[in-house]
Every structure is written in C-alpha cells, then in structure tokens.
Chain A
Amino acid sequence: MDELIPRTQTLIMLIFEHSKSGRRAQAQAPMADDGLSGIPDDLKRKRKPRLPEVSEMQAVRHYTRLSQKNFSIDTQFYPLGSCTMKYNPRACNTLAMLPGLINRHPLAPDSHSQGFLSTMYELQEILKEVTGMSAVSLAPMAGAQGEFAGIAMIRAYHDALGDTGRTEILVPDAAHGTNPATAVMCGYKAREIPSKADGDVDMDALEAALGPQTAGIMLTNPSTLGVFERRIKEIAGRVHEAGGLLYYDGANLNAILGRVRPGDMGFDVIHMNLHKTFSTPHGGGGPGAGPVGVSKRLQPFLPIPMVGTDGHDYHWLSEEQCPQSIGRLSAFAGNAGILLRAYVYAKMLGAEGMQRVADYSTLNANYMLKRLMDAGFTAAYPQRRATHEFIITLKNEARELGINAMDFAKRLLDYGIHAPTTYFPLLVPECFLIEPTETEAKESLDAFIDAMIKIREEARTDAKRVRGAPYTLPVRRLDDVRAARELDLRWQAEEEEERA
C-alpha cells in the first residue's frame, strides 16, 4: 500500500528548512516607523538575527500545512482524562476580544477601566457562588500558580498564628499529580496517604498521619481515580480538629459544577482551572488562569490585586487594602484574556447551564464506562459510578494479547481519536483515564468504543499491526526513551554548528 503513494515531497517541519539566502517577501504593506530610534548604539545588536528567508507564499503554505497536522479538539474527539478538553464556544473568544477590552492599557486608571473592572468583579462573585467560598482572587495565571497561592495562604495563616510547628502537607495518592510538588515549593514535606481498593481515602491511614505537624491536606474531589470521595465531610472534620486546613484542587471541578460546592464540603481554599472548566482552548501549554477561592479565615491572605466596589464604582484592591496578602503573582492582574472568556462562558451558561455541564459530563462518562464494560473491558473501580471521568485497565489485554495501553493509544490515533490519558494515575496498571466532557455527541462516544473493540479484534488477529501504529499521522511511533534521554529541541544553523 505504502509504495502506491508517490512521495512527491519530503516532510519539512521547520520554516528554517525552506530558507534560501536573499529570498524576500517584498509585497508587504508599508509599515509605520517602529519608534525605536532612541535606543543607544551600544545596546543594539551588530549582526542581524538569523531568521528564515522565505517568500510570503512559502510562509503561508508552511504554517497552513502545520495547522493541518494539528490533532486538536477542533478536528477530533480528545478524551484526555483529568484535562477537560471540552469544546469552547467561539462566542467566548469573540466577546473577550471586543476592542474596548483588548485595547485597554493595563496601566489605565480605574476611571477608564470601569467596564473591564466590573466584569472582573462580577466574575469573582460568580466563582464565589459556584464554589461556595467567601472570597476569590483572580490573580494566579495558571493552575500551578493557583496551587502555589493556595498552599502559600495556608502557610501564611499558620505563620500569622505563630503556629510554626506545622511542617507537613498530606496528599492522598489519588490526588492530582502536581500537589506534592506544590507542597514542597511552599517549604512543606509532602506525606502520602493511601487510598483503599474502592478508591476512597484510607481513613485509618489519615488518622495515623494527622498531628500537630499537619499544616493541611490537598485533595481533589472527585479524585483522579474518577470517583467521588464519599467521606469528605468526615475527612474535613478530622483535619480541622487536628488544626490543619483543606485545599481543593479544582482539576475535576467540571464533574460537580453547579451541583456540589467545595465550600460546603469543608474546604478552606480552592484553585480553579478556568482554562479547563470555564472555556479556553487549552492543551498547548497556556495561557491559563487559576483563580483561588477561600473560606473566611484565609481571606486576608488572598493574592492581589483583586477588584472591589463601593457599590457604584469599581477599583483595584492592592497592598494598602490587603496588608496580609501573600502578594502579587504577576505584573498585572492575571491573564485578563482568559478571565474574560471565563466570564462570558459563565454568563452564557447561567446557574442552570452550569448544572447541565456537571450532569452531561458525568452522564457521558458513565455511558462510555457502561458500554466498555459490556464489551468486556475492565473498569478499575467497577463497583463505583464514574464521575466526569473513569479508568479502565488494559492489563488483561496486555497479558493475553501482548498489546498494552500505549499500543491501544497509538492505534486510536489511526481511528481519528486522540488517546485518553495513559498510565496515569500510577495506581492502576496499563490504564486509560477517559474524560469525554459534556460537549461530545453520543456518536463520538460510540465511535471511541467501537474503535476500542476493533483494536482488540485486530490485536487478536494481527498484533503486529497494532504494535506498529500509528500509520496515518505525519510521524510514526516515536522513540519515547530516546526522546526523554537525549532531549534536543534546538534547531541550529549548519554554519553555527561548524563554528561550535
């Protein structure tokens, strides 16, 4: 088959490889003076930077072709567990890019920014309502920064009470993967708490770990096992009795949006990934938005700036009004563009729409789980109902057919489906963590399940074919080991290499 397709062009991945010395794109609209005339000579570079020299049409074709190679939510089902790769309404982009919003200078005075400030204030209020927290700061610019802000506030709280003996943060093994790193970044020791066979936190182990050294616990509920922690109120009670605080990782907020509130479960601080749950095209590494919400006792420590109001006008709240704040996390006020998209999304959904997000994301996940189980695949927690995501283990297929989770993942690409999260969480061998989101039609869900059944068929008759996948993408099976061990992402011009 392969030989029948003429190789008329080799795959060129880098614009530099199209470059020919002296080639120019001349047909450019005249540009205004760049206004950079005041730069002192000694600060100016002497040699021109090495940029690719291509015609305009080459540039257009190159980037159009690259965009066609995208395997993205705009083209394919993307059930990447714990990532909430939902479709993001175009209206969020359109409205967030209104000229009055994008042309506002970040240093514009409050009086010239009332429109923007009022939307940010309203977004704080919406997020308070939906999470059940007392106050919200929109400042953190990503999930990881939200986590950092959350634990930094827990630390600031204990410090303010002079309670400096609290050195440990408890992290259940079913928590989000970044949590232990956050605890360590904030100067704590992370202590792991095991979960039981049914996916809930092991209460005896928790009990044994709690003490005067406990600063807090980091949980996500539902957990990364795709199940709802049923004893959360008991956990909250025990941690509070021990003098610790509870941090909620918002990674899985989609499952409970408008239905259950972290504040009501007893959490003291939560970060939200607005870029997941509240509509931003993500998966390319950013930008993100990780606002934090807190209970009353942590309110003084929220990161700044926030937006306040006197009932008529809106204004920034900064060091002066928030002297105990953990401080600023960025030069301005978080990722304004992402916050605006989240605002539009929340306003379009309304309270009722948010409940439907939770309802349909869990319905879709449970539908897929049921059909996969009916087809003979193994659920990691068969006795539990799925939340917005669920785990299957392909250990039987790996043992009996010699086809592991990675082989299934790669072959799914040939079926036009992005692989789910593989080999995470680590607790489950050969696992897929599958999150369909509420935005997929039943046909997409069925197509995934049918593909899984077909791949298993292929594995029975022609295992080699599955192990060699993918066949239909710009690149075939990649050498993961070499990529990890000999990481080399920098393109170097040949001359430069010679000189080096």
Chain B
Amino acid sequence: MSNIPENLKYAESHEWVHDEGDGTVTVGISDHAQELLGDLVFVELPETGAKLKAGDESAVVESVKAASDVYSPVDGEVIETNELLADSPEAINEAPYDNWIFKLKLSNPVQLDELLDAAAYASLVKAEEH
C-alpha cells in the first residue's frame, strides 16, 4: 500500500495538493502515481505565469515505461516551478511528497473542498489495485 499523507488533498488523476494557507498551493504527484510510472527520466515543467484551469495539462512526467500528463487539480496561476527536477527527475521516485512540481496562486479557493481527502484517495487507489 502506498504512502498517503493525511495533511494533503488529492485529485483523482493522482496529483497531491498542499494548501499553504496564504492563497497558494503546492502540487506534486502521489506515491501511487510514481510507483505506477516507475523510474522517471524526464519532467517537463509548466511556464511560470501560466494560467491553468482545473483539469488542464500542466506538466509531463516521463518514465522508462511511459509519458504521462500531470493535470492541474485547481484553477490558478503558476508562481513557481521546481527547477531541481530538470536535472533530477528521480527525486520524485525517491520522495514524491517532498519533491513538488509547481506552485499555484489559487483563483478559485473553494475548489480545494472538491478534492479528495486522504481517506477518499486511499479507497480510490485500493479500487484501482483490485
């Protein structure tokens, strides 16, 4: 069973969201997602300043198996991206919750309530595994 921290929110497409409490959020991919993808070899980051809608393709994670889109879990503007990942995509495999992909300034904070909590995401992962 993969690691699903209690303090995060999750999207059905396997992104995690950390509410920074100041109108911004940090976004990455879940432990389950990195496990499915396998060894990451490349991460394409969004442009800072890009305005994203929930469900928009925002980044790409590429592993030896496949390239997968990362979707923006909420509406917002990209204010920072994790440049470390350009050289060390494997950091996501090693610590998916420490190695975030981008940060957003929320344009519609109520959307956070629509995301899954840890328990709901755990049952989604469980359902996928069976």
Spell out A's residues near B (CB within 8 Å).
395, 422-424, 426, 429, 480-481, 484-485
Contact = CB atoms under 8 A, between A and B. Distances in A.
A485 to B, nearest CB: 5
A484 B38 CA distance: 13
Interface string B33-70: 00010110110000000000000000000101110100
B66 A484 contact: no
Interface of B: 36, 38-39, 41-42, 62, 64-66, 68, 90, 128-129
Contacts of B65: 422-423, 426
A422 B66 CA distance: 10
A485 B68 contact: no
A335 B64 CA distance: 32
B66 A424 contact: yes
A422 B38 CA distance: 13
Contacts of A423: 38, 65-66
Given A395-B129, A423-B65, A480 B39 contact: yes
Contacts of A426: 65-66, 68
Nearest to A426: B66
Contacts of A424: 66
Nearest to B62: A484
A404 to B, nearest CB: 9
A484 B39 CA distance: 10
24 contacts: A395-B129, A422-B65, A423-B38, A423-B65, A423-B66, A424-B66, A426-B65, A426-B66, A426-B68, A429-B36, A429-B128, A429-B129, A480-B39, A480-B64, A481-B39, A481-B41, A481-B64, A481-B90, A484-B41, A484-B42, A484-B62, A484-B64, A485-B41, A485-B42
Nearest to A430: B36
Given A429-B128, A481-B64, A484-B62, 4 more contacts: A480-B39, A481-B39, A485-B41, A485-B42
B113 to A, nearest CB: 22
Contacts of B129: 395, 429
A426 to B, nearest CB: 5
A424 B66 CA distance: 8
Contacts of A429: 36, 128-129
A423 B38 CA distance: 10
A426 B64 CA distance: 12
- For the complex of A and B, 3 pairs with smallest distance between CB atoms: A484-B41, A423-B65, A480-B64
Most buried by A among B36, B65, B129: B65
Contacts of B128: 429
A175 to B, nearest CB: 15
Contacts of B64: 480-481, 484
Most buried by B among A422, A424, A426, A481: A481
B95 to A, nearest CB: 17
A225 to B, nearest CB: 16
Contacts of A481: 39, 41, 64, 90
Contacts of B66: 423-424, 426
Nearest to B130: A395
A2 to B, nearest CB: 27
Most buried by A among B38, B41, B68, B128: B41
A233 B41 CA distance: 41
Nearest to A427: B128
A119 B38 CA distance: 49
A485 B129 CA distance: 30
Nearest to B35: A429
A480 B66 CA distance: 12
B54 to A, nearest CB: 14
A202 B45 CA distance: 31
A402 to B, nearest CB: 14
A500 B58 CA distance: 39
Contacts of B41: 481, 484-485
B125 to A, nearest CB: 11
Contacts of A484: 41-42, 62, 64
A23 to B, nearest CB: 40
Contacts of A395: 129
B70 to A, nearest CB: 14
A484 B62 CA distance: 10
A423 B128 CA distance: 16
Contacts of B90: 481
A355 to B, nearest CB: 35
A211 to B, nearest CB: 16
Contacts of A480: 39, 64
B31 to A, nearest CB: 14
B127 to A, nearest CB: 10
A422 B128 CA distance: 19
A485 B36 CA distance: 19
Nearest to A480: B64
A422 B65 CA distance: 8
A141 B42 CA distance: 31
A378 B65 CA distance: 21
Contacts of B39: 480-481
Contacts of B36: 429
B103 to A, nearest CB: 25
A422 B64 CA distance: 11
A345 to B, nearest CB: 33
Contacts of B62: 484
Contacts of B68: 426
